[in-house]
Structure 1
């Protein structure tokens, strides 16, 4: 139910932020439970989503450097959560996959999501669920694009406040350009398609 002084757009923004905070809190606790850091936990999730990834693919999807990914894979392998396997067709390619131990823990922690999803989705019509899914996919793509833009403006060590403010201003200009592109896409009638937002 919407408060009288809150538009649907404001309510949606508020709800998304609450969801992000709640998810972030859960991810913090999960990382502590697993005895790893949040970045490691995020990479485990990326591997779980794709089944297996090469170190290069993991670096690309996580935004980490190849060196940082190698160290992280070593750490996760030592903890028993991932294993490296050579590709049977191309011995130069090495896949990173979750171990049976990681999959079993994941099943216990995330296995009830399907039941939770059934309970939550029963409150909405198929059209409403389609709209929510489309919104979330679009939001994820936009946040990925924003992260890539912000990454370009991370100041070098020792830059201080001025360097960060300069980077923030440059990031703001980039995002304004992104918004202009999105408005053009919207005018062309493609904004409702998450894939039209690009990577």
Structure 2
């Protein structure tokens, strides 16, 4: 089981690398695109927190996403003082082109499982995510601490 998880992580990493190359962005920018895809428009500080970046690094990434035409800054319609970052139309098309077929295939595979099996899979994935987040924090602290 551990080997299968490692192989899945490696395969995901390869997809991310190939997607970043195809889009002409770096992995940090790709992580920001992922967060915007998953959560919708975010303020720069929300995006920084979601992507694990400092405010300055997020601003730089947002600038790069705007230059590549994948993201854009827009005024929040509910509060004109707030500026949100969102995927541009080009960004939405790129996400659909790259990850749409992957999501469709994954959805087809999930249909092969019973509801009980899906509950177990979801529990495992949530626990694995918690584990990854905990160790990212540990590594981040070790890096910042010296």
Q: Which runs of 5+ in 1 are unaligned?
A: 1-11, 157-162, 164-199
TM-score w.r.t. structure 1 length? 0.69
After superposition, the Cα gap between the structure-2 partners of 1:93 and 1:26, relative to the gap in structure 1 and judged at 3 Å, is: same
Q: 1:41 maps to what in 2?
A: 30
The structure richer in helix per residue is: 2
Match of 2:64 among 66, 70, 75: 75
**SS of the residue 2:85 aligns to:** strand
Q: Following the alignment from structure 1 to structure 2, what is the Cα–Cα distance between the partners of residues 44 and 151?
A: 21
After superposition, the Cα gap between the structure-2 partners of 1:116 and 1:28, relative to the gap in structure 1 and judged at 3 Å, is: same
Shift of residue 54 of structure 1?
A: 0.8
Which consecutive aligned stretches of 4+ in structure 1 deviate over 3 angstroms post-superposition?
A: none
Match of 2:115 among 123, 126, 129: 126
Alpha-carbon RMSD: 1.6
Q: Following the alignment from structure 1 to structure 2, what is the Cα–Cα distance between the partners of residues 25 and 113?
A: 13
List aligned pairs for 1:1-20, cutoff 5 A.
12-20=1-9
Q: 1:185 maps to what in 2?
A: none
Are residues 1:88 and 2:88 paired?
Answer: no
Q: 1:51 maps to what in 2?
A: 40
Identify which of structures 1 and 2 has the higher relative contact order when contacts are C-alpha pairs closer than 8 Å and 6+ apart: 2
Q: Following the alignment from structure 2 to structure 1, what is the Cα–Cα distance between the partners of residues 110 and 67?
A: 39
Task: For residues 159-184 of structure 1, give each alpha carbon's deviation from its aligned partner in whole angstroms, at most 9, with x where no partner exists.
Answer: xxxx6xxxxxxxxxxxxxxxxxxxxx
Q: Which runs of 5+ in 2 are unaligned?
A: none
Match of 2:17 among 4, 28, 46: 28
Q: How many correspondences in the alignment?
A: 146
Q: Following the alignment from structure 2 to structure 1, what is the Cα–Cα distance between the partners of residues 81 and 107?
A: 43
Q: Following the alignment from structure 1 to structure 2, what is the Cα–Cα distance between the partners of residues 115 and 66?
A: 34
TM-score w.r.t. structure 2 length? 0.92
List aligned pairs for 1:137-176, cutoff 5 A.
137-154=126-143
List aligned pairs for 1:108-127, cutoff 5 A.
108-127=97-116
